[in-house]
Amino acid sequence: MPTEPLMNPVPTRARLREALRAMGASLSAGRLASNPIAPIQRPHAPAAMVEHDRIRAIPVRPLPPPPVVGFLDGIQRYSHEGNLGLVPVLRAHVAAMVQLREDGRLRVRAKVEKDFLVAPVARLTPAQRDRLMGLGLPVHESRAEEMVHPLVDRQRAVEEIERAREAIEHAAALQFVSDCPDFLLVVDGAIGEYPASWRAVGVAKSHETQFLSGPDLEVALTLPYGTRTSVFARTGSAGRKVHTWYLRLWPWEGEDLLYGLVRVERNADDESMAAATELSGWLLSERTPLSSPDGRWDRLLYPIHAVEESLRAQAGSWA
Amino acid sequence: MWLGLPFRIPHSALRIGTMTQPTAIPIGRVVATEALPSSAHQFHFWTATDTAIGIGAIVRVDGPDGRVVHAVVVDARAYSDLMTPLHDVLAAEGDPAGAAAPTRRTEIRLWTANVLRQTPEEPVQPVPLSEVRLATADDVEVALRMDGYLRGERPSGIPVGLYSAGGVTSPIFVDADFLLGPESAHLNITGISGLATKTSAVEFLLSAIFQHFPAHKGRVAAVCFNVKGPDLCFLDQPAQLTEAEQDMYRQLEIDPQPFEKVSYYAPYRPDGVNLNTLRSCPELVGSVEPLTWGLREVLDYHEVLLNRDDVDAKADAFIDFLADRVVEKEFDDDWGGKHRVRSFSDLERLFRAIFDGLEGQGRSDMWRTHHIATIRKVRNRLLNISVRCKGLVTDDGGVSDLPFGAFEDRRVYVLDVAGMDQLGQDLVFTRVVSQLREHLERRDLGVEHVVVFVDELNKYAPQDGPETYVRKMLLDISERGRYLGLVLFGAQQFRSQVHRRVVGNAGTVVFGRMDLDELATPGYQVLSPATKLRLATLPKGELMVRHPHFTQPVFLRFPRPAVLNGRGGVERFPPSPDVSFADAVARQLAQLDRGIAPARVKDLIDGRREDDVRRALLATRRARPRPRDILGFFQSKLPAAVPRQNAERPGAGTHAVVRPLEDPYAD
């Protein structure tokens, strides 16, 4: 009598991880998750090698940071306040701040904030529009899709809020650069939208867009702790070229690939290679103090965290 | 200037109205959370990390509704946004000596303040979430409710020190009605010996009282018991004060001068002519009056000297019999002898007559219903007193005492009993205080208020231990003294070891540098940990004061007293070694009349009995008005000279009659 082949028993988690290790995998933390990952709008973008032909890992040593540095961050908050028919009306608060660090102490040097309403104004009746305008808050128009969809409409409104936040950050940066043109400004994120005349350094901690591929990407994403990659160039949305490189702030073994990994940006010029090592060195020394309890502490610089906390605290009841 | 004024009205008394204006710059903000809410008696606020305030600072909160809250800072905390210490370890990679963090963590200074006063007083509400400002001098006055007794036609403030915080310095006054009675009274000061500056504080405070006690409240004097060292022996000698100390005196409106009127009293040494005091430098010893008492003075206070274990009801009855029927009365023994007992020597003669009579009679052990064993026991106890307290208690009835009935306004009477044993100190304290109380009750002491300063209260009124006459007396003063004007200023190292009714009745309580073990006792539970820590680290010259008008204790500084301290006094006026009997007599007479040659005195007393000389010397010293011819007066008080061999014959004189007892407690 024919018999069915025996099914392999389900391996335990420990056996699975051991098997993966035997296969040459680098094991992650293995944290349980259940939330879906939001769709990534721009997963890839082009880059050009600058420092070397291929990406390499370059050791860096911690260096003391410049005595005076500015740190920029911004926040956004919104609430869905209601609907006029099917048209959503959101109230938003965006704020950006630059704190100047001198003798280890952070002090507010520039701050810009704005409260406004967001709605797909095109869908409102003239009477509704007039009444909304008369409420005392500026009204930003979000994109109105052809077909009404409450979630998409809200998504478009949030996109408008993000744009407003970026504009506010830009305004705060401008204020700081005007007041303190000689000091470096460390920005939470990319600097592609900023004029090349500003002494801005971007520290990107989200890696939605990848500029490298193949072995270069593998070298970048498996960088050992305390190393940076070769400098490469990317082009911002306004067509401005910036020089960028990855830097591993914390050992990632036992965690995921992006753990402790930041991407640093600076203006594209001939000094980038030397600056990359120096900048990486003092960014390494910025690991302390730790920006806990923020969950992104492995990539979030403490001064940026402090600026963000200040903005959140000052936003008051928006919390 | 200040001199000549019986009392002073502080400048602050001239202010009108109680509402003060806030200072311009807030130093903090009140915060309240569900876990850390504001209440009507306590609130929390944060400040910049480099704030000038500290524990003990007085602050002010102005509510949006016009409510003003004054409070004193009692606790402080600081923390950063560090979630767990482990994160700091991680950031430093486990190396404490690693590179310093380029950014300082966000840090908070969170203060806790206890409410001193809310204006208006009603309704009582939680402290509003408003800005916090440092209290101005006017605020301090309102916060401590000093406006109630510094203003008006009859201010009654006594300056006790300077409050200082955040650049604000303000004099602190206590209410004379609550320091010296009748509303409340007594002051208790506690702290570690040598660091708490208890004696200095009392000296300063007495000076403040003498200069600021309002004339309309009557006359005031002080009686100080110097129980150890030379602490209080130089109150009439000036100290060298620094400019800063003089400035403190200016702010407190006190003239930095030593006490103008001081009287010193000290018993003799056993030789009966050298005074038992460290104020024995030839320049000063002339201002020390001898303190000597006779049988009557001692018998009235036999309870101090004879404890309950010694004296049973039978002995007590016999002592009462002696006091009522024998002492200073014509008395016939049952064997034909007549006695008039005025001194211990007379008493010994009576006892001898009784024993001889009973022995001769041979048929009874009873005399006047008292058993011979009881009589022997009482005789041993009483005559032993003249041995143990020799120098204070005279065999021959000579008395030199405080001027009860003629006390002077704003005079300090110092009784230097530091050289006496405990029994003698107890006797002096009990009798002096009893006399003060009796005279105050009769309103014939000479002053209406007397401050009695006693150090080492834990020895005289201990919380535990047997019930002693001294402790009962201290309890009596504490509980009833304020109605009489008898005010106790007590000091001790450990407040917890003093009877709680003594310390509990003190209206004003002062704390100097404290011992942490003492602070851990239940009596200090109401103090915050930070306040306790400040108490444990208080520098010299700083105190914490509790007063009935102050809702919370307040920290303050006081200037060094303007009088020479004990150590400085002994260095400047070194005590003289005891001199021979003849030299001592000559020296004392020379102090009364500088023209008297010592050789003449020595010739005069040569060959005379020492007791006769002592009596004549005492009579000369105490003669009022003072004789113009001191030596002549002295000579007139000496009995006719007798040959030396007779004077020294055993049993011939008083000195030989009162024999030291080998076992003074034997039955």
Which residues in chain B are contacts of A311 at CB distance < 8 A? none
Does residue B597 sit at the A interface (CB-CB below 8 Å)?
A: no
Structure token pair of residue A64: 């003391």
In DSSP terms, A69 is beta-bridged to: A101, A184
CA distance readout (Å), A199 to A182, A195, A232, A270, B643: 8, 9, 19, 14, 117
Residues A286, A260: Cα–Cα separation, whole Å: 12
Structure token pair of residue A274: 């030397």
Residues A190, A236: Cα–Cα separation, whole Å: 9
Look up the CATH architecture of domain B174-291+404-571.
3-Layer(aba) Sandwich (3.40)
Mark yes or no for CB contact B102/A306 under 8 Å: no
C-alpha distance from B22 to closest chain A C-alpha (Å): 26
Give the burial class of B255: count Cβ atoms within 10 A of its Cβ; 0-12 exposed, 13-18 middle, 19 or more buried: middle
Question: Which of A194, A146, A142 minimizes the C-alpha distance to A163?
Answer: A142
Does residue B216 sit at the A interface (CB-CB below 8 Å)?
A: no
pLDDT score of A66: 94
pLDDT digits (tens, 9 = 90+) for B528-577: 999 999 999 999 999 999 999 999 999 999 999 999 999 999 999 999 88
Lowest mean pLDDT among B29-43, B92-106, B252-266: B92-106
* B372-388 vs B313-321: helix crossing angle, rounded to 10: 70
Which residues in chain B are contacts of A288 at CB distance < 8 A? 88, 91-92, 98-99, 101-102
Residue type, B261: K
Residues B386, B393: Cα–Cα separation, whole Å: 5
Does B648 have pLDDT greater than 50? no
Q: Give the number of C-alpha atoms closer than 13 A to the C-alpha of residue B481, restricted to the C-beta side.
A: 31
Mark yes or no for CB contact B90/A286 under 8 Å: no
Q: How confident is the model at residue B362 (pLDDT cuts 50, 70, 90)?
A: confident
Tell me which DSSP letter residue B498 carries: B
pLDDT digits (tens, 9 = 90+) for B254-281: 999 999 999 999 999 888 888 999 999 8
C-alpha distance from B102 to closest chain A C-alpha (Å): 5
Does B232 have pLDDT greater than 80? yes
Does residue B25 sit at the A interface (CB-CB below 8 Å)?
A: no
Residues A77, A318: Cα–Cα separation, whole Å: 7
Does B656 have pLDDT greater than 50? no
Which residues in chain A are contacts of B99 at CB distance < 8 A? 62, 64, 285, 288
Lowest mean pLDDT among B133-137, B139-143, B305-309, B329-333: B305-309
pLDDT score of B24: 67
Mark yes or no for CB contact B98/A288 under 8 Å: yes
pLDDT score of B271: 83
Q: Would you give the distance in Å from CA B508 to the centre of its chain?
A: 14
Residues A70, A191: Cα–Cα separation, whole Å: 14
Q: Which helix (H) or strand (E) holds B265?
A: strand B262-266
Does B393 have pLDDT greater than 80? yes
Residues B71, B62: Cα–Cα separation, whole Å: 11
Residues A143, A87: Cα–Cα separation, whole Å: 12
Q: How confident is the model at residue B250 (pLDDT cuts 50, 70, 90)?
A: very high
Q: What is the mean pLDDT of chain B?
A: 86
Of A62, A293, A306, the CB nearest to B83: A293
pLDDT score of A99: 97
Mean pLDDT of B199-226: 95
Mark yes or no for CB contact A285/B87 under 8 Å: no
DSSP of chain A, one letter per residue?
---PPPPPPPPPHHHHHHHHHHTTPPP-------SPPPPPS--B--EEE-SSSS--EEE----PPPSEEEEEEEEEEEEEEEEETTEEEEEEEEEEEEEEEETTEEEEEEEEEEEEEEE-GGGS-HHHHHHHHTTSS-EEEPPPPSS--HHHHHHHHHHHHHHHHHHHHHHHHHHHHHH-TTSEEEEES--TTS-TTS-EEEEE----SB---HHHHHHHHTPPTTEEEPPEEEE-TTS-EEEEEEEE-S--TTS-TTTTEEEEEEE-STTHHHHHHHHHHHHHHTT-S--TTSTTTTT--HHHHHHHHHHHHHTGGG-
Mean pLDDT of B15-42: 79
pLDDT > 70 in chain B, percent? 91
Which residues in chain B are contacts of A282 at CB distance < 8 A? 102
pLDDT score of B651: 37
Q: Which comes out higher in pLDDT, residue B406 or B465?
A: B406
Measured in residues, chain B has a length of 667
pLDDT score of B652: 36
Q: Give the number of C-alpha atoms closer than 13 A to the C-alpha of residue B190, restricted to the C-beta side.
A: 26
Counting one residue from chain A and one from chain B, the pairs whose CB atoms sit within 8 A come to: 56
Domain ranges across chain B: 21-135, 174-291+404-571, 296-388, 579-657
CA distance readout (Å), B5 to A65, B238, B336, B347: 68, 20, 65, 52
Does residue B91 sit at the A interface (CB-CB below 8 Å)?
A: yes
DSSP of A264-314, one letter per residue?
EEEE-STTHHHHHHHHHHHHHHTT-S--TTSTTTTT--HHHHHHHHHHHHH
Lowest mean pLDDT among A36-50, A289-303, B384-398, B603-617: B384-398
Q: What is the ipTM of this complex?
A: 0.80
Residues B220, B445: Cα–Cα separation, whole Å: 11
C-alpha distance from A60 to closest chain B C-alpha (Å): 15
Q: Which of B103, B104, B105, B108 to mutate to test the interface with A (most CBs of A within 10 A)?
A: B103
DSSP of B528-579, one letter per residue?
-HHHHHHHHTPPTTEEEEE-TT-SS-EEEE-PPPSB--HHHHHHHSPPPPP-
pLDDT score of A6: 58
Q: Which residue has the tokens 């930095």?
A: B256
Residues B298, B194: Cα–Cα separation, whole Å: 35
* Phi and psi at residue B474, to the nearest 5°: -65, -40
pLDDT digits (tens, 9 = 90+) for B428-460: 998 999 999 999 999 999 999 999 999 989 888
Structure token pair of residue A166: 């970026």
Does residue B105 sit at the A interface (CB-CB below 8 Å)?
A: yes
Structure token pair of residue B260: 């103008």
Lowest mean pLDDT among B49-58, B109-118, B359-368, B433-442: B359-368
Mark yes or no for CB contact B102/A106 under 8 Å: no
Give the range with max mean pLDDT: A108-112, B120-124, B581-585: A108-112
Q: Which residues of chain A have pLDDT under 50?
A: 319
Interface of A with B in 230-249 (CB under 8 A): none
Does residue B92 sit at the A interface (CB-CB below 8 Å)?
A: yes
Does residue B500 sit at the A interface (CB-CB below 8 Å)?
A: no
In DSSP terms, B330 is beta-bridged to: B340
Does B133 have pLDDT greater than 50? yes
pLDDT score of B396: 66
Which residues in chain A are contacts of B106 at CB distance < 8 A? 106, 306, 309
Residues B202, B229: Cα–Cα separation, whole Å: 16
Residue of A nearest to B103 (CA): A104
Burial code (b: 16+ CB inside 10 Å, e: under 16) for B605-627 equals: beebbbbbbbbbbbbbbeeeeeb
DSSP of B325-341, one letter per residue?
IIBTSEEE-TTS-EEEB
Q: Say whether the peptide bond before residue B548 is cis (omega within 30 degrees of 0).
A: no
Mean pLDDT of B404-414: 96
Residue of A nearest to B99 (CA): A285
Q: How confident is the model at residue B2 (pLDDT cuts 50, 70, 90)?
A: very low
